Structure 1
Amino acid sequence: MKLYDSLKREFTEINVPKFCIYTCGPTVYDYIHIGNARPLILTDIIVRYLEYKEIKYKYLLNITDIDDKIIQKAAEQNITEEDHAQIYADAFFNDLKNLNIKSPTLITPISSKISEILIFIDDLIKKGFAYEKKGNVYFDIGQWNGEYGALSNQNINNLNMGERIEIDENKKNPQDFILWKKTKTGKKWLSKWGFGRPGWHTECALLIDDFFKDTIDIHVGGIDLKFPHHENERIQYMAKNSKELSNIWLHNGHLSIDDIKMSKSLKNTILVKDYLEENGVNSLRYIFLNSNYTQPLNINQDLINQSIDWVTKVEALLRTVNWGTAIGEVVLINETPIDEDFNSYKFITNFESLLDDDLNTPMVISLIDEMCKNINIQIKNKRVDLTYKKLLKIIKVLGFNFDIKKLDKKDIEKIKEWKLLIYQKKFDKADKLRETLKQGNII
């Protein structure tokens, strides 16, 4: 498989017997929005494809359940931070299920790893890469000139103090970032430096170090996290272990809503739960997969309508084959699909080549369109070859979840009755029965 590595800024071939994958999860102070869903669905495609190819993997997803926003929201609602975080962690798990995301190998809340974080930070201090000042612990980037900033491709010295970094007189360098934060508010833990809680940037570095014990293969996240979060995460891991954190850094592009970058501060986010309720999971999958994952993506009503039309078209085809074979009107045959010159259609070979080529899902969508067109022609001839089974395989790898009902005897009798009414030219009755069959997700 060839993927675009954001660190090297080039395509990198990866071929290992067991993939180690990490994806940045949410801070559970609120519901996740569709921008949060993009890296999750991107990782899900990778995981599903590995399973399809029978390649083993370990996939870790974190949950940030320690955060200033959680403290603030819990105080506003007069509940504990733990209770507030649990409410939105449960909501996140429900969103994962509704997004048809395969369960990661492990989902870890950072609050369960405080002891390990303390050891991790202490190791950095002992190695001379971190320092304590007035109960706070900072990472010293002064020793990493030329390396720090490599991921985000910028000269950190050019950053203006107070714009993208917080001014703190306790720091040796303005760009040093906090590993352990002294605090009197919110949930805190006792450390050798006093009461406090971990800095956000240390979470992922620790979890990767603790779970995988070595450099991972793929690190997935939104491009908005590249700096400072991923930059800080990477440099800590390198300082502790003297090696690279990940062989490939996979970053997905920004989301915009009606040409305005989606942001909670602008209050133009679309929650996953709201989008799925209104448009369904297949619509969101189509929107993400019909564009290159690295590219920015603008969500508007026209795009949503296009996605729904596509989903409706594919679902109608699957249902037609389903009920057509149930009543014997269509026969599935175990023949290889061929073109007019008797050459085999290499649908699966093409599919694998496209996903191996930096997850070229837009072209896979085009391949599905071609297969659907081919199957529709076959339906008219009452015989459908192996194109149909291959289509089902590809749809499964992409994580689409079509509601194709397993028909019982009553369903089959109703379909036959509907077909008979059409044959008898009793179109009014046929139309009414057809509407009933559609509402029952039968046709």
Structure 2
Amino acid sequence: MLKIYDSLTGEKKTINDSKVRIYTCGPTVYNYIHIGNARPLILADLVVKFLTFKEVKVKYLLNITDIDDKIINKAIEENVSEFDIAKKYSDAFFNDIENLNITLPTKVIPISSKLIEIIDFIEILIDKKYAYEVNGNVYFDISSLEKEYGELSKQKKEELNTGARVEQDFNKKNSGDFVLWKKTDKGKKWLSKWSYGRPGWHTECALLIDNFFTKPLDIHIGGIDLKFPHHENERIQYIAKNNKEIAIAWAYNGHLSINNEKMSKSLGNTILVKDFIEKYGANELRFIYLNSNYKQPLNITEELINQSIEWNNKIFNLLKLANWKIATKEVILNNQTPIDDDFDSYKYITKFKEFMNDDLNTPMVITLLEEMAKNINKQIKNKVLDKTLEKFKAILNVLGLSYKILDIDKKTKEKLLEWLMLLENKNYEKADIIRKKLQEGGII
């Protein structure tokens, strides 16, 4: 069974294989997502694809924050409606995740569709004395669950109450109390019993998880930068309402840097997903993430990108080679038994599952793929391929690596055979002309 490192307890937690419930915080749709935003999405997709490969049922929820001050400010800046901004960048988000070969979650919920439920959720917290209203604003009282608050981020209450992160608001009982409902006259707002306003960001995710799942989550996935205050505040609201933990495991990916500087808008070094894909490719971004432990900080450099490009080209060329060799019967498929005793072909999937079940050890999976590639190349030279190629493709698919291998039609097959005949007859000049056309067509 899958074991995932739980950031709350510091232990690996076993995830039951009956049905797995997963949640990831989606984007605030006021801009295009950058490659840092993509890391937890790719991590969640990896978990979903692996569990699906193991024939485990998955219920995966992703939210869209389409109510936010950033959206309001962007709408004012561009002189359009908040709806137009949210629609534009929601569409862009879905386009990006499609291009990243991310499987759509079971459900993607825009928070604007859950306002009634959010208001009801906040009322419950007030009734239970975990939240309070002042001048039309509603706050969560962190002193009401003093022992639990701060456990996820491993911070003490006195540390949480200081510093620039906590906005100064004299309506609060404690400086660390956070907004559940914000009274406002700016931008789109909704009527509640407290005021015209809109929900606090931290309440959105807590409500969606509580509303969509009948049981606590198995895995809550996110970037490490969301641990505090977002996830800390999300967790405490769920505990307050339900008197139980929100998730079995909190899985966090590490920080992302660009050339040894933390990626941030203020430094102007953010790389948008759409720009990265256009310049390098989706496989190249995935490989960069897969070739390191998901929990570790990652520094993206030109050298790392070039390494990824080289690796993906090697895999792509191998798949193309096997494809046309099989089509022309230069290589025979023998799917019955392993051909080469030097490679444990029959154990590849077993090893793959072992690595993935051990807290998603994708660097070891990459090493396994390289061993398999070596085996496949050897088999091609010997003109017989066993099931290693099939297993190789299956593992690539779980990792979300997708290569455009063209079907070889009758006309292309004839060209390939003509090329091979010219090579055999040592007519290299004509052979080179055909080879060039086949390369341009993406066949070889």
TM class, shorter-length = over 0.9
- Once the 2 structures are TM-superposed, how far is the Cα of residue 15 of structure 1 from its aligned partner? 1.7
Residue of structure 1 in register with 2:366 after alignment: 365
What letter matches 1:19 in structure 2? V
Residue of structure 2 in register with 1:266 after alignment: 267
Residue of structure 1 in register with 2:190 after alignment: 189
- Once the 2 structures are TM-superposed, how far is the Cα of residue 368 of structure 1 from its aligned partner? 0.3
Residue of structure 2 in register with 1:356 after alignment: 357
- For 1:225-374, list aligned pairs within 5 A: 225-337=226-338, 339-340=340-341, 345-374=346-375
Q: 1:226 to 1:325 in 2, by over 3 A?
A: same
Q: Gaps spanning 5+ residues in structure 1: where?
A: none
- For 1:359-398, list aligned pairs within 5 A: 359-398=360-399
- Looking at structure 2, the residues matched to 255 and 130 of structure 1 have their Cα atoms a distance apart, in angstroms, of 35
What letter matches 1:46 in structure 2? V
Post-superposition Cα deviations, 1:224-251, rounded to whole Å, max 9, x if no partner, equal 0000000000000000111110111010
- Once the 2 structures are TM-superposed, how far is the Cα of residue 280 of structure 1 from its aligned partner? 0.9
Structure 1 runs (4+) deviating above 3 angstroms are: 159-162, 338-345
Q: Indicate conservation of the 8 Å contact 1:323/1:407, yes or no.
A: yes
What letter matches 2:21 in structure 1? C
Q: 1:355 to 1:192 in 2, by over 3 A?
A: same
The range that moved more, 344-353 or 49-58, is 344-353
Residue of structure 2 in register with 1:421 after alignment: 422
Secondary structure of 1:302's partner? helix
- Once the 2 structures are TM-superposed, how far is the Cα of residue 339 of structure 1 from its aligned partner? 4.9
Counting aligned pairs with the same residue, the percent is: 62
Secondary structure of 1:349's partner? helix
Residue of structure 2 in register with 1:69 after alignment: 70
Q: Indicate conservation of the 8 Å contact 1:74/1:80, yes or no.
A: yes
Secondary structure of 1:240's partner? helix
Residue of structure 1 in register with 2:6 after alignment: 5
Q: 1:165 to 1:265 in 2, by over 3 A?
A: same
What letter matches 2:136 in structure 1? G
- Once the 2 structures are TM-superposed, how far is the Cα of residue 343 of structure 1 from its aligned partner? 6.2
Secondary structure of 1:12's partner? strand
Q: 1:153 to 1:413 in 2, by over 3 A?
A: same
CA RMSD of aligned residues (A): 1.3
Secondary structure of 1:58's partner? strand
TM-score, normalised via structure 2 length: 0.98
Q: 1:342 to 1:28 in 2, by over 3 A?
A: closer
What letter matches 1:12 in structure 2? K
- Once the 2 structures are TM-superposed, how far is the Cα of residue 213 of structure 1 from its aligned partner? 2.5
- Looking at structure 1, the residues matched to 299 and 327 of structure 2 have their Cα atoms a distance apart, in angstroms, of 41
Q: Gaps spanning 5+ residues in structure 2: where?
A: none
What letter matches 1:388 in structure 2? L
- Looking at structure 2, the residues matched to 342 and 181 of structure 1 have their Cα atoms a distance apart, in angstroms, of 62
Post-superposition Cα deviations, 1:182-226, rounded to whole Å, max 9, x if no partner, equal 101000001101100000000100000000032111100000000
Q: Indicate conservation of the 8 Å contact 1:30/1:88, yes or no.
A: yes
- Looking at structure 2, the residues matched to 377 and 317 of structure 1 have their Cα atoms a distance apart, in angstroms, of 11
- Looking at structure 1, the residues matched to 201 and 161 of structure 2 have their Cα atoms a distance apart, in angstroms, of 22
Q: 1:341 to 1:80 in 2, by over 3 A?
A: closer
TM-score, normalised via structure 1 length: 0.98
- Once the 2 structures are TM-superposed, how far is the Cα of residue 267 of structure 1 from its aligned partner? 1.4
Aligned residues: 443
Q: Indicate conservation of the 8 Å contact 1:161/1:167, yes or no.
A: no
- Looking at structure 1, the residues matched to 209 and 311 of structure 2 have their Cα atoms a distance apart, in angstroms, of 39
Post-superposition Cα deviations, 1:281-303, rounded to whole Å, max 9, x if no partner, equal 11111111000000011111111
The range that moved more, 27-36 or 405-414, is 405-414
Residue of structure 1 in register with 2:410 after alignment: 409
Residue of structure 1 in register with 2:152 after alignment: 151
Q: Indicate conservation of the 8 Å contact 1:336/1:387, yes or no.
A: no
Q: Indicate conservation of the 8 Å contact 1:39/1:220, yes or no.
A: yes
Q: 1:156 to 1:334 in 2, by over 3 A?
A: same
- Looking at structure 2, the residues matched to 132 and 388 of structure 1 have their Cα atoms a distance apart, in angstroms, of 63
Q: Indicate conservation of the 8 Å contact 2:3/2:13, yes or no.
A: yes
- Once the 2 structures are TM-superposed, how far is the Cα of residue 342 of structure 1 from its aligned partner? 8.6
- Looking at structure 1, the residues matched to 51 and 341 of structure 2 have their Cα atoms a distance apart, in angstroms, of 34
